[in-house]
Amino acid sequence: MDKRESAVDEVVSRYREAIIDTPGVVDVEPELDGDLQYQIIVAVREAADVERVQHLVPPRLEGYEVVIEGPQSPYYNLMIANMAGQAVIAHHKAELLKIPGVIGVGLGANPSDTSELVIYVDVKDKKDEDRVRRAVPSRLEGHPVIVEGPPSDVHLF
């Protein structure tokens, strides 16, 4: 994680609870915009919530633009998928980490279909991959599982 990403993550952490408590808000995440500037995306449950939440959440937080996104937004769908994937990880992480050789579980884009999120199971050593592949299901709660190793820092949580 670079300094810019770390800084925006800290801002989101400071305000997350207050924003999530706003009626209609389902998630808050940092995101790079088209100009590679970080902004804070606030996802709301329904299109009707966008205008109301715009009046309740400031347009900028510590220098970062705040963008309110409804369900018609591509950000919204990605954030909801990410939340669902994180819930799957939370549900299965302990059992996966008990498998010998498994050192991490994460969420990332499917390398063959970047619109699909997959669960990554990272193994300590390349020699562990086949054994771990046989020990884990090919899907967890509908998400494909990819076993790989040694880990990369892009999706190891």
Place of tokens 């709301």: 44
- The β-bridge partners of 60 are 65
Q: Which residue has the higher pLDDT, 108 or 26?
A: 26
Structure tokens at 69: 């996104």
* Local structure of residue 59 (DSSP, 8 states): S
How many CA atoms does the CB half-sphere of 92 hold within 13 Å? 24
- The β-bridge partners of 61 are 64
pLDDT value for 45: 85
* pTM recorded for the entire structure: 0.56
pLDDT value for 114: 63
Q: What share of the chain in percent tops pLDDT 70?
A: 90
* 89: amino acid identity, one letter: I
Q: Distance (Å, rounded) from C-alpha 57 to C-alpha 143?
A: 33
Beta carbons within 8 Å of 147's beta carbon, 6+ residues apart: 120, 121, 123, 129, 132, 133, 136
Counting DSSP H helices and E strands in the chain, the numbers are 4, 8
Nearest Cα residue to 135 out of 124, 118, 156, 121: 121
Q: Which residue has the higher pLDDT, 151 or 65?
A: 65
Q: Distance (Å, rounded) from C-alpha 135 to C-alpha 14?
A: 39
**Residue ranges of domains in the chain, CATH in brackets:** 3-70 (3.30.300.50), 77-148 (3.30.300)
